[in-house]
Structure 1
C-alpha cells in the first residue's frame, strides 16, 4: 500500500516537472516566434525610406517621382486565416532564424560582383532581340517561399518578373499614343569593380491607361483545376477568392463561364452576364477538389465556351486556375501546344498558379507559348492587385507581339549582357517578322529591362551609344508598327546617387533576383547589405510593396546565413 502510494506520488511529481518543462519550452518557442515577427517588422519601421514627392506627379525625369498608390486596407479585414497578412507562419516550415542586427545598412557599393556573368562583345554581335514579359509570378512565388522560411529554387527565379512586379513612375504616353518609352543609364552599383566600371542601361515602356468603364466588353471563361492536389493547403479556396475578386470588378454586361477539370471535365456554369452575379458566385463557391488531373479535355471545352460567347473586338480570355500538376493525360508541353492552336481565334489566356509547390515550369510554359500572362496568387492583396487594381491590364490587350531590339555602337560600347529574359530571347532576324509571336502588353502595364554594359573610356557628347527599336501590333492579327529611340551620353547619369530614386530601387530589385539564382553557400555571398542600403534610400515609404521588398532582402540574408 505504501509502495503504491509512493509510486503515485512519484508519478504526480514527474507529471508536475514535465508540465513545468513544457511551459518553459513552449514559452521559449512562443518568444522565438515573437522575436521573428519583431525582426520582420524592424526593417520597415526603423529605416528611413524615400519620401514621395508631391510636386512632380507621374514623372521620373527627376529623382523621386510619383509611384502608384500603395494598396489600401479596405478588404484586409475580410481576409480568411489561410489568405492572411505577411507575418503568417506555417507549421510546415521552421521559423526564420533570428539575427541580432535586423537593419544592416552598408554605406559603400560592393567591391566586386558576386558572380562573373557572361558578356557579349559588340565587335562580335552588336544586336540583341527579345520579347517583352509582363508576368510577375516568379516574384510573388519567391515572396511566398521567403515568408514561409524557404529560399526559392534558383531555376524558378526570373529577374524580369521581379522587375516588372513594380511600377517605376514612367511618364504616361502622350494622348493618342499607345505607350511611352524611357531609356537611360547609371553606374552599375552591384556589377562594377575598380578594374572594370560598368553601367546599367534601362529600357522601359508604359502602356496607356484605360479606365474600367472604357474597357472593352469581356467574355471570360474560368478553367478551374479541382483535382485532389488543389485540395492541399488552401489552393482551391484561394482560387475561389481570386475568382470572386475578379467577378466583383467586372461590369453587368461582361460574361463569365466556368469549366472544371479533374479526372474528367464539367461545365459548372455556361456563359452568364455579371448582372446575375449571385449565380456566378454560387457556382464558384460550389467547387470542391477531388480526383486526378487531366487538363486537355477541360481546355477544349473551355475554349468552346469562349467561342460560344465570343465578342467581336472584345476581351475574350480563358483564365486557368491550377497548381500545374497535370498527372494524367498529355504533359504541360503538349497542353501549351493545344492552347497555342487557339491563338488565331483571338482568345487570349492567363494562367494563375495557386500554392507553394505548384508546377511553376508548366504554368510559365502555358503562358509563354501562348503569349499570355502568368501570375501567382499568394495573398488577398495580390488577388486585388491583379484582378481589381490592374483588371484592365490583366484582361485587355493594348499591344500584341511586342518585341525589343537593341543595337549597340561598337565604337562606344565594348560588351553587354541582358539581365533575365532568358526564355524570351529571339533571333535578330525575327524582329521584323510579324509571323513570329511575342508577348502582349496591357493598358497601364510597365515593362523594364536592364542591360549591363561596358562603355569606352571617352564618350563624345554627340555619340549614339545604342539604338532601341520596338515593334508591336495594335491588336491581335494587326499589321506591325515600329518605334525607335536612341541612348546618348546626355541620358547617362554621372553617379549612382544622381539617378532617380526609382531607377536606383529597380537596380536593387534586379540584383536581388540575380542573387537568388546563386546557389546558397557560394563565395562571395550576395551583397544583401548593400541592396538593403539602396532600397532604404530609394523605396517610397508610403508604398507597402516597396517597403515589403526590404523585408524580403533581410529574410533572404537570414536564410542564406543559416544555410
Structure 2
C-alpha cells in the first residue's frame, strides 16, 4: 500500500508532527508544526507546492516518491513571506515533476494549481433566478442556484502618457506621488502566480517603492533637487532624464507631537486572515513608535461608526493594544460615516504645529453611505481644509478597492500603502515611519519646460493621474502631493532628440508658430525645471527654479540608481504591455537591474530581480 505523503513527513522533516484520527492506522491525518500556536483554532500549516498555495488534500494526493525536497518555515520567517496565511507555519515542497519542466511548462502548471486553490478558497455568493419555475422547489434550487467566486477588485483605468512635442507643448506639469502601493500589490499577484491586471500597474509607484541615494538638502528648502541624463535602455536612440527629490530627514527628538486617529474597517468584508488580523498586528508596530506627547484614538466602522478608544497618551501602549485586540469583523461598511467621525475626533484633539493625521485601514469596500469615488472625493476635500492629513492602508485580496483608496489619499493631503504581510507593515510603519507619517512639505508640484533645440519629443513615464494643467502650477488653491521626512521621489522622462526618426509624434509645419531658437542664449540647456511647495501648515507656496544641462552620459557609466530606476520603469511598462516600448526582453531588464543593486541591506532590490525572473 502506498504511504500517505503526510505520514512520510514524520521523521523526514524537522519540527513536523503527524496526528492520526483516533490513533487508528489509515485514519485521517493532520500535520502540525511543533512550536507553532494557532490564532484561528486551526493548526494546519500552509502548503506551498512548487511555489503555489495548496490545501492539505492536494498535499496528501502527492506520491512521496515524487517529492524532490521539503523544508519548513515558522514564525516570522513564514509570515514575512506569506503574511497571516503562514501564521501556523509553512511547508514548502518541490516536486521532481517541476524539475523536469521548461520554465514555460512550469508556469502553466503553477497557474493551473493556483486557479484550483483560489476556486476552493475564495468566498462566494449565490445567484438565484427569480423567474425560474416554482412547481418543483428542489429542482429550482439545483438548477437556478450558482456559486460565483467573489473577485471584485477595482482599479481605475487610465491611458499611458503619450509623447509631446515641445514646439507645440513645451510645458509638462504634475504633482509628486510618494505612494508605492502598486508595487506591493503587483508583488502579491506575481508571488501568487496570478496575471497582473494592467490597470493595477502604476509605474511611478513602482519606482518610488525604492529609495535612492540623493543628498540631504543643504539650503532652507525642505528637499534637495537631483537630475541625471543618460540613454534609454529600451530604445538606445532615445534618452532618459531622471529627476529626484530628497526630503529632509527630521531627527527623532525634533519630531512634532502627533495626534493620530486610527480609522479601522471592521465590516464583514474584513473577516479574513490577511485583513483584520493582519491590520491589528500592523497597527501595533505603529503604536510601538509612539511617545508620551503623542495621542492615539481609535474609530471603527461597519454598519455604523463608533469611538472605541478616546485620545490616549502614546506611552499607554497596553491600553491601546488591548483596544485593538478586541476588534472583530462583521456588518456592512459605512465608510463615509466613519470618515466624518474620525476627522471630528482629530479636530477635537488638534495639536497646533503638530502632526495631525487620520490613518484609514480598510480593503476599501465602501458599500453603505457615500459610495462613489466622486462622493468620497468631495467629502475628503472638505476634510482636507481642517489641516488634518490622511494615510490610507489597504489590505486583502479579491475585494481590494484600490480606486477608492487612491482617490481618498490623493485628495486628502495623504499617502497610501498596500499591506500584504508583516514584512511590508514593518517597512511602511517602522523602517519608513517618519516618511510615512510626518509631512515636511505639501502641495508639491513640478513643472518642466523643454528646449526644442535639444528635444524633439518627450513623455512623462507614469504619473498619469497626477498630471496638472499648466495654469494649475502657480495656483495655490490646487491640491498636490505631500513629501514626508526622509522621503525620496523620482520621476523619469523619455526624450527623443532632434533628428531621430520616430512613429510616436509628428509635428506639422506651422506658419504662425515658428519655434524661437533665441540664438545661442540657451543652447546648453536641455530644460528648466520649477518646483512649488507649501509648509505643512502653510497656505502660500514657495517656488524653486533650476536648469538642466544638455549633457547625457553613456548608460554604461550612469549611476546605479539611474540604472535601477530605469529597470523598474521598464518592467512596469512591460507589465502594462506598453505600445511605446519596442524591447520588452526580461533578461535585459534583469541585467540592468542587477547593475543597479548597489548596497541593498534590506534586500528589496534583490527581491525585485526575483519578481522579474518569474515573468516571461
**Same fold (TM > 0.5):** yes
- What is the CA-CA distance between 1:76 and the residue it aligns to? 5.8
Superimposed CA distance per residue, residues 333-357 of structure 1 (whole angstroms, 9 cap, x where no aligned partner): 2123212201111001010000123
Aligned to 1:479: 540
Compare 363-372 and 160-169 and name the one that shifted more.
Answer: 363-372
**Equivalent residue for 2:395, pick from 351, 354, 362:** 354
C-alpha distance in structure 2 between counterparts of 1:541 and 1:149, whole Å: 29
Name the SS for the 2:483 alignment partner: coil
> Measured at CA, do residues 257 and 117 of structure 1 come closer, stay the same or move farther in structure 2, by a change above 3 Å?
closer
CA distance in 1, matches of 2:529, 2:345: 41
Question: RCO higher in 1 or 2 (8 Å CA, sep ≥ 6)?
Answer: 1
Secondary structure in 2 matching 1:345: coil
Q: 1:437 to 1:30 in 2, by over 3 A?
A: farther
Q: Name which of 287, 290, 294 aligns with 2:334.
A: 294
Q: 2:64 aligns with which of 27, 30, 37?
A: 27
SS at match of 1:351: strand
CA distance in 1, matches of 2:82, 2:611: 22
**1:533 maps to what in 2?**
591
Give the stretch that moved more between structures: 511-520 or 366-375: 511-520
**Whole-angstrom distance in 2 between the partners of 1:223 and 1:406:** 38
The answer for the alignment partner of 2:385 in structure 1 is 344
Larger Rg: 2
Q: Distance in 2 between matches of 1:236 and 1:270?
A: 20
CA–CA separation in structure 2 for the residues paired with 1:244 and 1:116: 39
- Alignment CA distance shift 1:272-1:126 (3 Å): same
- Distance of aligned partners of 1:33 and 1:331 in 2 relative to their CA distance in 1, 3 Å threshold: farther
Range with bigger deviation, 469-478 or 221-230? 469-478
How far apart, CA to CA, are the structure 1 residues paired with 2:86 and 2:609? 16
In 2, Cα distance between equivalents of 1:101 and 1:240: 39
CA contact (8 A) 1:218 1:315 kept: yes
State yes or no: 1:255 paired with 2:295. yes
Partner SS state of residue 278, structure 2: helix
Q: Give the whole-Å Cα distance in 2 for the aligned partners of 1:241 and 1:299.
A: 22
Distance 1:174 1:146 in 2: 41
Q: C-alpha separation between the residues in 1 aligned to 2:215 and 2:86? A: 32
Relative to the length of structure 1, the TM-score reads 0.79
Question: What TM-score does the superposition give when structure 2 sets the normalisation length?
Answer: 0.72
Partners in 2 of 1:23 and 1:545 — Cα distance?
A: 35
From the superposition, tell whether residues 227 and 125 of structure 1 become closer, same or farther in structure 2 (CA, over 3 Å): same
The equivalences for 1:252-331 within 5 A come to: 252-331=292-371
Residue 515, structure 1, aligned to residue 574, structure 2: yes
Question: What is the DSSP-based 3-state SS (H/G/I as helix, E as strand, rest coil) of the residue aligned with 1:121?
Answer: coil
Change (3 A) 1:123 1:90: farther
Query: Alpha-carbon deviations, 1:423-482, whole Å to 9, x = none?
Result: 000000110111111011111001000000012359999511111100111223331101
1:147 aligned partner: 191
Contact 1:142 1:151 in 2 (8 A): no
Measured at CA, do residues 390 and 531 of structure 1 come closer, stay the same or move farther in structure 2, by a change above 3 Å? Answer: same
CA distance, structure 2, for counterparts of residue 327 and residue 548 of structure 1 = 36
Task: Tell me, in whole angstroms, the C-alpha distance in 1 between the residues paired with 2:65 and 2:309.
Answer: 52
List gaps (5 residues or longer) in structure 1: 1-14, 38-73, 103-114, 558-563
The question of whether the paired residues in 1 share the 8 Å contact of 2:227 and 2:244 is answered with yes
Question: How is 1:108-257 mapped onto 2 (pairs within 5 angstroms)?
Answer: 118-174=162-218, 176-192=220-236, 197-257=237-297
Secondary structure in structure 1 of the residue aligned to 2:167:
coil
Instruction: Name stretches of at least 5 consecutive residues in structure 2 with no aligned partner.
Output: 1-24, 30-57, 105-158, 501-516
**CA pair 210-76 structure 1, distance change in 2 beyond 3 A:** farther
Query: CA–CA distance in 2 between the matches of 1:352 and 1:177?
Result: 29
Aligned residues: 479
1:335 aligns with 2:380: no
Give RMSD over aligned pairs.
Answer: 3.4
Following superposition, the deviation at residue 540 of structure 1 comes to 2.7
Indicate the structure with greater strand content: 2
2:235–2:582 Cα contact (<8 Å) kept: no
Q: Name which of structure 1's ranges 25-34 and 443-452 shifts more when overlaid on structure 2.
A: 25-34
Q: SS state of the match for residue 210, structure 1?
A: coil
